[in-house]
Amino acid sequence: MRNGVTIINPEQTYISVDAEIGRDTILQPGVMIEGRTIIGERCTIGPNSHIDNSIIGNETTIHSSVVRDSKIGSHTTVGPFAHIRPDSNLSDNVKIGNFVEVKKSTLGEGSKVSHLSYIGDAQVGSHVNVGCGSITVNYDGKNKFQTIIEDDAFIGCNSNLVAPVTIGKGSFIAAGSTITKNVPESSLAIARTRQENKEGYISKLNLKKP
Decide whether 1-104 matches 112-189 in CATH topology: yes
For domain 112-189, the CATH class is mainly beta
The answer on pLDDT for 210 being more than 80 is no
pTM across the whole model? 0.93
- Is there a catalytic annotation at residue 63? no
Per-residue pLDDT tens digits for 65-106? 999 999 999 999 999 999 999 999 999 999 999 999 999 999
* Catalytic hit among 63, 83, 115, 127: 115
Per-residue pLDDT tens digits for 27-73? 999 999 999 999 999 999 999 999 999 999 999 999 999 999 999 99
Q: Which 3-state string (H, E, C) describes the chain?
A: CCCCCEECCHHHCEECCCCEECCCCEECCCCEEECCCEECCCCEECCCCEEECCEECCCCEECCCEEECCEECCCCEECCCCEECCCCEECCCCEEEECCEEECCEECCCCEEEECCEEECEEECCCCEECCCCEEECECCCCECCEEECCCCEECCCCEEECCEEECCCCEECCCCEECCCECCCCEECCCCCCCCCCCHHHHCCCCCC
The domain locations on the chain are 1-104, 112-189
CATH of span 1-104: 2.160.10.10
